[in-house]
A and B are shown apart, each in its own frame.
Chain A
Amino acid sequence: AQSVTQPDIHITVSEGASLELRCNYSYGATPYLFWYVQSPGQGLQLLLKYFSGDTLVQGIKGFEAEFKRSQSSFNLRKPSVHWSDAAEYFCAVGVANQGGKLIFGQGTELSVKP
């Protein structure tokens, strides 16, 4: 069965420091991969997605992610974190032949220290 694992439940970084959020997936074929962000009391906003092609994808708000097939990973990165990046981040997999169903990881809560 398909699954998504985000090993870090909570991460704290200092403002201006770099950030990497980890995501590992389990899926037989090339998955459709997404990163979403959720601020308190809000819905999910798409940061970036990977379907095929260049394994380094750029998203909104200065985020990027790299797809590594050999490691079944799709880690999210940002070179310099801003206080407004504090939120919960979700990695998700879209599965072929299952329509619009997304399988989400448990999420990583990001705190930013001033």
Chain B
Amino acid sequence: KAGVTQTPRYLIKTRGQQVTLSCSPISGHRSVSWYQQTPGQGLQFLFEYFSETQRNKGNFPGRFSGRQFSNSRSEMNVSTLELGDSALYLCASSLRTSGDNEQFFGPGTRLTVL
């Protein structure tokens, strides 16, 4: 069974631009979560989607948004990029949306904002 895939793996943008990252979950998984990883803040939860609905949201500004499609693939969008948005963005998929559910992580998208 194929794992979680994320595209692109690397991205370079300039301040003020917007970016869209994509995540394809493991086949059969309906929950997709997104995390931001930075050296200063560590791993922080962005949001979770289940059956095309946002179920949970972390403490990030409205510039960060996401969506999920009927095939469970998910995208996250960051508008008006800031230097501080440079990070590794990780996507995780799981069968259900519950705290006791194992999440499988993708390799991440490394975003650099210049």
Contacts and interface: CB of A to CB of B under 8 A. Distances in A.
Given A94-B99, A95-B99, A103 B45 contact: yes
Contacts of A32: 99-100
A51 B99 CA distance: 9
Given A51-B100, A99-B50, A101-B45, A43 B108 contact: yes
A63 interface: no
A44 B105 contact: yes
Interface string B73-114: 000000000000000001010101111111111111000000
A104 B94 contact: no
B100 A99 contact: no
B24 interface: no
Given A32-B99, A44-B90, A94-B100, A100 B106 contact: no
Given A44-B105, A94-B99, A101 B33 contact: yes
A56 interface: no
B4 A102 contact: no
Interface in B10-40: 31, 33, 35
A99 B103 contact: no
Interface of B: 4, 31, 33, 35, 42-45, 48, 50, 55-56, 58, 90, 92, 94, 96-108
The 4 closest A-B pairs by CB, nearest first: A94-B99, A43-B105, A104-B43, A99-B97
